[in-house]
Amino acid sequence: MSAPMHQFEADTGKILDIVINSLYSNKEIFLRELISNASDALDKRTYLSATDSALLAEDQLGITLAVNAKAKTLTISDNGIGLSHDDLISSLGTIARSGSKAFVEQLAQSADTSDKKSDDTLSLIGQFGVGFYSAFMVADKVEVLSLKAGETQAHLWSSDGVSGYDISPAEKPSAGTDITLYLKKDCKDFLEEQRIGYLVKKYSDHLSYPVMWQPVNVDDARQLNTGSAIWTRQKSDISDDDYTQFYRQIGAGYDEPFMTLHNRTEGALNYTSLLFIPSQRPMDLFNPDRKSRMQLYINKVFITDECEEFVPPWLRFVKGVIDTPDLDLNVSREMLQHNPAVVKIGKAVVKRILSELDKKKKKDFEAYQQFWEQFGIVLKEGLYEDIDNRDKLLGLCLFTSARTGAQISLQEYCDNMSETQDKIYFLSAESVAQAETSPHLEGYRARDIDVLLLTDPVDEFWVQAVGSFDEKPLTSISRGSQNLDDIAPKKDEADDQKSENQDEEFAPLIASLKSKLGEQVKDVRLSKTLVDSPACLVADDDGMDIQMERLMKAHNKDFVGMPRVLELNADHKLIQAISEKLAHDADPELVQDACLMLFDQAQILEGKSPDSLTEFARRMTRLMERGLAG
Residues that bind ligand ADP (CB under 6 A): 33, 37-38, 40-41, 78, 80-83, 91-92, 97, 99, 131-132, 177, 329-330
Q: Min. distance of Cβ 31 from Mg ion in angstroms? A: 12
Task: Name the residue nearer to Mg ion (CB basis): 132 or 368.
Answer: 132
Among ligand ADP, Mg ion, none, residue 83 binds (CB under 5-8 Å by kind): ligand ADP
Task: Name the residue nearer to ligand ADP (CB basis): 60 or 483.
Answer: 60
Residue type, position 561, single letter: G
Q: Min. distance of Cβ 301 from Mg ion in angstroms? A: 9
From residue 40, give the alpha-carbon distance in Å to each of 47, 125, 212, 223, 327.
10, 21, 17, 19, 14
Q: At 200, which helix (H) or strand (E)? A: helix 193-204
* 455 touches Mg ion (CB under 5 A): no
Residue type, position 297, single letter: Y
- The residues facing 400 across adjacent strands are 407, 453
Q: Min. distance of Cβ 151 from ligand ADP in angstroms? A: 13
What does the alpha-carbon distance between residue 367 and residue 35 come to, in Å, rounded to a whole number?
Answer: 43
* 37 touches Mg ion (CB under 5 A): yes
Options 128-136, 302-310, 560-568, 584-592: segment touching Mg ion (CB under 5 A): 128-136
Q: In the Cβ-directed half-sphere of 154, how many Cα atoms lie within 13 Å?
A: 17
Task: Name the residue nearer to ligand ADP (CB basis): 131 or 439.
Answer: 131
Residue 386 burial (10 A CB sphere; 0-12, 13-18, 19+)? middle
Q: Min. distance of Cβ 328 from Mg ion in angstroms? A: 9
What does the alpha-carbon distance between residue 146 and residue 157 come to, in Å, rounded to a whole number?
Answer: 8
Q: At 497, which helix (H) or strand (E)? A: helix 496-517
Residue closest to 509 by CA, chosen among 576, 564, 593: 576
Name residues whose C-beta falls within 8 Å of residue 580's C-beta, 6 or more positions apart in sequence: none
Task: Name the residue nearer to ligand ADP (CB basis): 18 or 441.
Answer: 18
Options 37-45, 262-270, 517-525, 581-589: segment touching Mg ion (CB under 5 A): 37-45
Q: How many residues sit close enough to Mg ion to count as binding (CB under 5 A)?
A: 2
Residue 524 gets which letter from DSSP? E
Among ligand ADP, Mg ion, none, residue 41 binds (CB under 5-8 Å by kind): ligand ADP
Q: In the Cβ-directed half-sphere of 594, how many Cα atoms lie within 13 Å?
A: 22
* 131 touches Mg ion (CB under 5 A): yes
Among Mg ion, ligand ADP, none, residue 332 binds (CB under 5-8 Å by kind): none
Q: Min. distance of Cβ 392 from ligand ADP in angstroms? A: 38
Residue type, position 260, single letter: T
Whether 61 and 128 have beta carbons less than 8 Å apart is answered as: no
Q: Min. distance of Cβ 340 from Mg ion in angstroms? A: 22
Task: Name the residue nearer to ligand ADP (CB basis): 40 or 205.
Answer: 40
Q: Min. distance of Cβ 76 from Mg ion in angstroms? A: 12
Task: Name the residue nearer to ligand ADP (CB basis): 99 or 443.
Answer: 99
Task: Name the residue nearer to ligand ADP (CB basis): 143 or 460.
Answer: 143
Residues that bind Mg ion (CB under 5 A): 37, 131
